[in-house]
Amino acid sequence: MNPKTNKKPTQPKIPNIMNQIVIAIFIFMAITVAYTFFTKKGDDVKKMAISDVAKSVVDGTIEKITVSGGDINIDFKDKTKGIAKKELESSLSETLYNYGVTPAQITSTPIEIKTESGFMYWILSILPFLLPVFLIMFLFWMLTRQAKGQGMQAFTFGQSKARITDPDDKNNKVTFKDVAGAKEAKEELKEIVDFLKNPKKFLDIGARIPKGVLLTGQPGTGKTLLARAVAGEAEVPFFHLSGSEFVEMFVGVGASRVRDLFKMAKKAAPSIVFIDEIDAVGRVRGTGVGGGNDEREQTLNQILVEMDGFEPNEKVIVMAATNRGDVLDPALLRPGRFDRRVLLDLPDRKDREDILAIHSRKKPFAEDVNLKVIAERTPGFSGADLFSIMNEGAILAAREDRKKIAQFDLVRSIEKVMMGPERKSHLLSKQEKEITAYHEAGHALVASVLPHADPVHKVSIVSRGSAGGYTLKLPLEERRLQSKKEFLDDIAMSLGGYVAEEMVFGDITTGPSNDLQVATSLARAMVTRWGMSSEIGPIALESDGGRTMFGQGVNDKEYSERVSALIDGEVSKIMNNAFAVAKQVLTEKRKVLDAIASKLIEVETLEQAEYNEIIVANGIVPKKRKK
Ligand code: ADP
Ligand code: MG
Ligand code: ZN
């Protein structure tokens, strides 16, 4: 099930071209030699006059005569051979008769006639001309292959390289059963499956079918797996292509690949086109500073064109996966394109146990194996990591010639997987866990208490990227308008983690650094873009987009030093106010803060319902999700 088994072969090196030419020349020489050898008459074949042949027939020394074209080949009874030239105008028996051989003598000698129009004769006469042509074609073919190896793709230009998974292929079939956890994601995707299975039901009622589904989540959270499971459940063809495969040397190749891919998918509809790692082509398109990557932009444009070009009843659904939803071009996320977004989180304890269970199928375990313990010990591990644990465990057991995998093997593989690159941040120490729990509880509680903040969806201390945990509170759909009050509450909420850490532990970690950045830039935008500061008033000092250079935003400053100082003053006023608000909330509700934090330490992830239970028990009314 490893999607990486389909890698391109490694590219041959340049000296190979020389090798190939040498080989070609060698083959050419060999063929020439063989040709002359086989067509040459051996030295032991004696040339004879036709009269001698007649004499031999009369003598009865001939075993067999073979006539082929103008040649008469004679096999004598004493195993010698002879060759003679025939008169072209008359047949052999006629000629022999003329030389005085009686008809009885002629019939007593077997004569085999190979007709001149025989296939072999024809081939043999044409081969000398064809051979060089073949050779040139062969050489050309070799060079072409070589060129392809060099990544030029000159001769397969646009053809899509998509891998197709056939719905009838039982061996590679993946279904939702093979994906543990990810409940919400599966729920969303079931709808897609439903549609692919029974499009008529939806179309008849006039429903517009989503064209694109974007799966976001950290590496190894099962995005690729889930996409394949959708195809498996729906039993439709699945066209799988990776974003990085679009990017080729020649401009235009990516775009024509996209065209081919979609053409194939439409032919096979209902079907799924899956573009893995779409961030490779779908990053925010630059405004030209520093030179954009034309190839990428064209590919991306083509994807957009294809998606827009779908007829309303086209039964092709485009799925895409990315680790970095934040860098995607906004054009991709517009309604009518990837308008469904499915977020995949790192698994929590229960999910980890389920994933381990899935990957223990077909693995013989010793009595002492306890997957729950393994799940407890692997906070922050992704599905792919857990898969590795199981695999490493099996390898360890096999290496020590045991027939069953023991708990001890699995525990050792945890370390092995953890020691892998960049896994250190995964494992939270007990103290880190506590700090993270209070930090996230701080965010969540401020959000629940302040009237204009968004409701809390989920709180988790399962680490995510550089952050220790996360609090999910944004409604998934984009908002058009946001008010000043909402922004102020948002900023206070962002500072909730910082305030909680300071209050509870009397110290601050590097954990909230990202929160501070987010809050500060929001405050700054309020002042400089949206005219939300009374000091500065309704002036937009900065434009919305800014330019991008080397992937980072650069803002053109269009104001003086004095205004700049004024801005800084306003920003820090907003931040300080927000800090005070957050501090007040958390001080007043310290008891609730403790309750949320301790529950988090216990279960790691709180879904909305569980979270609401805690705050309701402490007299806070949970908010309804805003429309
Ligand atoms: P991504 O595409 O998100 O980087 P993959 O889908 O390639 O991750 O997952 C890699 C492997 O990890 C899968 O092939 C599967 O074996 C395992 N895996 C990941 N998530 C899950 C899950 N939820 N349930 C079962 N296995 C999983
Ligand atoms: Mg993947
Ligand atoms: Zn935070």
Instruction: Compute CA distances 417 → 201, 217, 391, 474, 519, whole Å.
Output: 47, 20, 10, 33, 35
pLDDT in tens, 207-261: 777 788 889 888 889 999 998 898 888 888 888 888 777 665 455 667 777 888 8
Q: Higher model confidence: residue 60 or residue 321? A: 321
The residues of the chain that CATH labels 3.40.50.300 are 163-344
Residue 520 tokens read as 């500060």
Q: According to the model, what pLDDT value does residue 599 have?
A: 93
Tell me if 355 CB under 6 Å of ligand 1.
yes
Of 507 and 587, the structure prediction assigns the larger pLDDT to 587
C-alpha 334 – ligand 1 centre gap (Å): 28
Residue 2 CA, closest ligand 1 atom number: 14
Cross-strand partners of 447: none
Which class for 175: exposed (0-12), middle (13-18), buried (19 or more C-beta within 10 A)?
A: middle
Buried b (16+ CB within 10 A) or exposed e, 316-332: bbbbbbbbebeebbeeb
What would the pLDDT profile of 72-86 be if each residue is shown by its tens digit?
888 888 888 888 887
CA-182 nearest atom, ligand 1:
23
Tokens coding 622: 């949970």
Element (H, E) at 341: strand 340-344
CA 215–ligand 2 middle distance (angstroms)? 10
62 closest CA partner among 86, 96, 19, 88: 96
Most confident range, picked from 141-150, 316-325, 426-435, 486-495: 486-495
Question: Cα separation of 441 and 596, whole Å?
Answer: 6
Q: Does the C-beta of 270 come closer than 6 Å to ligand 1? A: no
pLDDT of amino acid 150:
46
Distance CA 58, CA 52 (A): 10
Say which CATH class 45-116 falls into: alpha beta
Rounded-to-integer distance, Cα 580 and Cα 496, Å: 10
Q: Which residue's alpha carbon is nearest to atom 9 within ligand 1?
A: 222
pLDDT of amino acid 297: 74
Over residues 593-612, the mean pLDDT reads 90
Q: Is the dihedral of CA 487, 492, 498, 500 positive or negative?
A: negative
Mean pLDDT of 344-369: 89
Distance between Cα 477 and ligand 3 center (Å): 22
Query: How many Å apart are CA 522 and CA 493, to the nearest integer?
Result: 12
Closest ligand to 386 CA? 1
Active site residues: 440
Q: Of 441, 608, 434, 560, give the one whose Cα is nearest residue 509.
A: 434
Where would I find the H helices in 3-118?
A: 15-39, 50-59, 92-98, 103-108
Fold of 349-419: Helicase, Ruva Protein; domain 3 (1.10.8)
Q: 26: Cβ–Cβ under 8 A, 6 or more apart, which residues?
A: none
Which of 117-131, 165-179, 283-297, 605-619 is the least confident region? Answer: 283-297
What average pLDDT does the segment 554-558 reach? 53
Fold assignment, 430-617: Methane Monooxygenase Hydroxylase; Chain G, domain 1 (1.20.58)
Residue type, 15: P
Buried b (16+ CB within 10 A) or exposed e, 347-357: bbbebbbbbbe
Map residue 404 onto helix, strand or coil. coil
Cα–chain center distance at 458? 29
**What is the structure's pLDDT at 184?**
84
| Residue-averaged pLDDT of the chain | 78
Residue 80: strand, helix, or coil:
coil
Q: Per-residue pLDDT for 345 more than 50?
A: yes
Q: Average of pLDDT values for 368-375?
A: 88
Task: Give the closest ligand to the alpha carbon of residue 460.
Answer: 3
Residues forming CATH 1.10.8.60 domain(s) in the chain? 349-419
For ion ligand 2, residues whose CB falls within 5 Å: 224
Give the integer Cα–Cα distance in Å for 507 and 505.
Answer: 5
Residue nearest to atom 1 of ligand 1 (CA): 220
The pLDDT confidence band at residue 408, using thresholds 50, 70 and 90, is confident
CB atoms within 10 A of CB 161: 16
Q: In this predicted structure, what is the pLDDT of residue 286?
A: 55
- The confidence score (pLDDT) of residue 5 equals 36
User: At 202, is the secondary structure helix, strand, or coil?
Assistant: helix
Q: Is residue 274 a contact partner of residue 242, using CB atoms and an 8 Å limit?
A: no
Calpha distance 226→412 (Å, rounded): 29
Q: Looking at per-residue confidence, does 249 or 453 come out higher?
A: 453
- Strands 605-607 and 458-460, how do they pair? antiparallel
Q: Which of helix, strand or coil describes residue 387?
A: helix
Question: Is the link from the previous residue into 219 a cis peptide, with omega within 30 of 0?
Answer: no
Listed residue (535, 508, 520, 503) closest to 578, CA to CA? 520
φ, ψ for residue 341, nearest 5 deg: -120, 130
Q: What pLDDT is stored for residue 426 in this prediction?
A: 53
Residue 568 has pLDDT above 80, yes or no: yes
**Pick the residue with more confidence: 101 or 153?**
101
For 590-604, what is the mean pLDDT? 92
219 lines ligand 1 (CB under 6 A): yes
526-546 residue pLDDT tens: 888 888 887 777 777 765 544
Predicted local distance difference test score (pLDDT) of residue 357: 93
User: Above 90 in pLDDT, residue 626?
Assistant: no
Q: Give the HSE-up count for residue 122: Cα atoms under 13 Å, Cβ half-sphere.
A: 4
Q: What is the pLDDT of residue 302?
A: 81
**Per-residue pLDDT at 552:** 45
CB 70 within 8 A of CB 101: no
Residue 42 and residue 110: Cα distance in Å, rounded?
Answer: 23
Q: What does DSSP say about strands 552-554 and 547-549: parallel, antiparallel, or unpaired?
A: antiparallel
Domain with CATH 3.30.720.210 in the chain: 45-116
The first and second tokens of residue 333, run together, are 């996320």
Q: Considering the chain, tell me which residue range(s) the CATH 1.20.58.760 domain(s) occupy.
A: 430-617
For domain 163-344, give the CATH superfamily.
P-loop containing nucleotide triphosphate hydrolases (3.40.50.300)
Count of C-beta atoms within a 10 Å radius of residue 126: 10
Q: Which helix (DSSP H) or strand (DSSP E) does residue 152 occupy?
A: none
